[in-house]
Structure 1
């Protein structure tokens, strides 16, 4: 045996004798499950979860995979926070305001009446105090969060009868997305009901609901609301820019390698941007189709908007009186909003107003 072979064999023997294994740099495969609160029939919202999964797999070379499960597959649509808290799944894709029954603070992760627009929400969450405050709150539920995309300003919903004044809202049975909007509308006489999107059409058709709101033209058209309620109002003042979120089991995220954490964050950013862009592309065409099919498109009156604003501010004041944490987050959001609105007056609003009137 030559000298090099002798040294090589001695080295292997030394490893076997000491029990010290050579360094292995390849990362073990990671398999996660994501439960969505939305059905597959909504390619905008549910598509964000699919985009996240595709991107994670691509960036990791297939070593990190996230299987995506539609609402009801693993658990009820509104069961995802409990599942994360109990470590039943590693991720969820949802709207945080669905869980205000647990704590009203959940609303700030998605949308509140007369709240932030999509761009303002993105700025507050990523460069203001939004994400910091919300993740500090979510930690008690074993959750850390990322944006899953934003719907933009939503529509004001579908109504079986015309809504001309605040009095027309009294006794109205309406499906609402959740959060503080339901409390606000209750003050205006609405009987608010929170139910998954997939159950709403049948309720409207049977007359157990008088009205519903969901998102906007593209999603609403797919859900068929225009077939059972012809009056379509705008704007959705309760959702100036509804943020969907990826909720991640905090223990599972903390256990990831630095490389996989970076992959998760990058995939979230890709999915969020894709969702918002998809809505902006698809909503105009869907709105044209809806109007062409007989939908009656109408603005809410200023009287109704003013009444909604007054009721919303009363709801915020009530929650602030009960919760110092709610008050801290709400006041921070409003201070941020004032600056954003001031800037928007001199930039996009003026530009959009001109270009909307110009012949382009």
Structure 2
């Protein structure tokens, strides 16, 4: 196995139109009354301003979605919290944001926890439980119902950082210059991946792993530094331009469903008023639901578009996915042995996946 690191250069409620209008009018009236009744010191308090860097390039839809989240935070807090958003590499390198958050150079990051696997192995186990979950909703349940979010926050705690929440961009597609239909097809492939379980699983299948920030993936694919790229979903890959230089993609989804966390400096978090913390948490959860749905819709649309342009969409068989899952669990064992929190996160997720009948 060779891994080479290149540092960066509900139930729906039926309601008549009349009733909806009455409810909206009531909400508006109550909100106005609430604002009118606020003490002047609250209405006039100075805005808290945060600088947050994401893992996304400025031209990607996912970066625009995060900008929309920041705009909603400002509106929902009445201007008391303003988030200035930065694309990958705008303030610090893509692999340097956690240090910047720890030191309060940035007040937050929205990125992939597995980038810091070398600092805390639990972040690899939580950040992307490769070949495990098949939908974001499944891991969301583990995070919020089975103690996963507490584990994630504990993993970040020693870096002076607090995780507000998590989201996903869905189960990733893999774009390649050669068809990759089964584990054996990775032999001899140079593959762009990120630190963690997914990359090491692919390495055990025979690939050489080149660790690069996602923003450098297109250039690496174009120049032949890599033969395949592990970077987000089909629609994001198309937007970046991967299919200009590669004509194969795994779809629907392949192996990896990384978390995109929203993690902030602990002191910055503690300094927020309790109601602003609650608004931030609620706004993030709404953003997460919306992002997942939007990207899923984009992927379905783009799948039809790229096929017309000569891109072959490759779906792995259940048998090959099962074999890959077995390889991945061997990698999980290796990471779980690196720390008590990593083992706890691995055992907990495996138990939940067995309940979901996704793991034997």
Normalised TM-score (structure 1): 0.82
Residue number in structure 2 paired with 1:146? 164
**One of 41, 46, 49 as aligned partner of 1:28:** 46
Tell me the equivalent position of 1:100.
Answer: 117
Structure 2 residue 190 is the aligned partner of structure 1 residue 173 = yes
Distance 1:165 1:266, change over 3 A: closer
- 1:32-47 equivalent positions in 2, closer than 5 A: 32-43=50-61, 45-47=62-64
TM-aligned CA distance change 1:255 to 1:304, over 3 Å: same
Q: Which residue of 2 aligns with 1:222?
A: 239
SS in 2 for 1:175: strand
Distance change in 2, residues 1:59/1:163 (3 Å): closer
Shift of 1:330: 0.6
Indicate which of 130, 133, 143 corresponds to 2:151.
Answer: 133
Distance 1:338 1:146, change over 3 A: farther
SS in 1 for 2:85: strand
Alignment of 1:292 with 2:308, yes or no, is: yes
- Alignment length (residue pairs): 318
Question: Distance between the aligned counterparts of 1:293 and 1:35, measured in 2?
Answer: 34
Residues 160-215 of structure 1, C-alpha deviations (whole Å, 9 max, x = no match):
12235544322210111332111111111111122122212221122111111212
Distance 2:301 2:182 in 1: 30
Maintained 8 Å contact 2:171/2:255: no
Instruction: Indicate how the Cα distance of structure 1 residues 214 and 190 shifts in structure 2: closer, same or farther if over 3 A, else same.
Output: same
1:317 is aligned to: 333
Deviations 1:317-347 (A, max 9, x none): 22233322211111111112222348xxxxx
1:340 aligns with 2:356: yes
Q: Does 1:69 pair with 2:86?
A: yes
8 A Cα contact 2:164 2:262, kept in partner? yes
Asked if 1:81 is matched to 2:109, the reply is no
Any conservation in 2 of the 1:121–1:243 contact (CA below 8 Å)? no
The whole-number CA distance in structure 1 between the counterparts of 2:57 and 2:228 is 21
Q: In structure 1, which of residues 245, 248, 254 is the aligned counterpart of residue 270 of structure 2?
A: 254
CA contact under 8 A between 2:251 and 2:314: conserved in structure 1?
yes
Deviation at 1:125, TM superposition (A): 1.0
Counterpart of 2:298 in structure 1 is 282
- Tell me the residue number matched to 1:233: 250
Distance change (3 Å), C-alpha of 1:173 and 1:256: same
Report the 3-state secondary structure (helix = DSSP H, G, I; strand = E; otherwise coil) of the residue aligned with 1:181. helix
Partner in structure 1 of residue 287 of structure 2: 271
Q: Flag structure 1 segments of 5+ consecutive residues without an equivalent.
A: 1-21, 343-360
> Is the CA contact (8 Å cut-off) linking 1:118 and 1:242 kept in structure 2?
no
| 8 Å contact kept, 1:95–1:244 | yes
The match for 1:53 among 70, 90, 98 is: 70
Name whichever of 318-327 and 115-124 sits farther off.
318-327
Tell me, yes or no, if the aligned pair for 2:121 and 2:339 is still in contact at 8 Å: no
Residue 336 of structure 2 aligns to a residue whose secondary structure is helix
Aligned partner of residue 84 in structure 1, secondary structure: helix
Cα gap change, 1:236 to 1:97, in 2 (>3 Å): farther
The answer (yes or no) to whether the contact 1:162–1:231 under 8 Å persists in 2 is yes
> What's 2:180 paired with?
163
Aligned-residue RMSD, C-alpha? 2.1
Contact 2:222 2:245 in 1 (8 A): yes
Give 1:237 shift. Answer: 4.2
Q: Using a 3 Å threshold, how does the CA distance of structure 1 residues 278 and 148 change in structure 2: closer, same or farther?
A: farther
Shift of 1:235: 5.0
- Give yes or no for contact 2:88–2:215 (8 Å, CA) kept in 1: no
Residue equivalent to 1:119:
137
C-alpha separation in 1, matches of 2:281 and 2:160: 18
SS in 2 for 1:77: coil
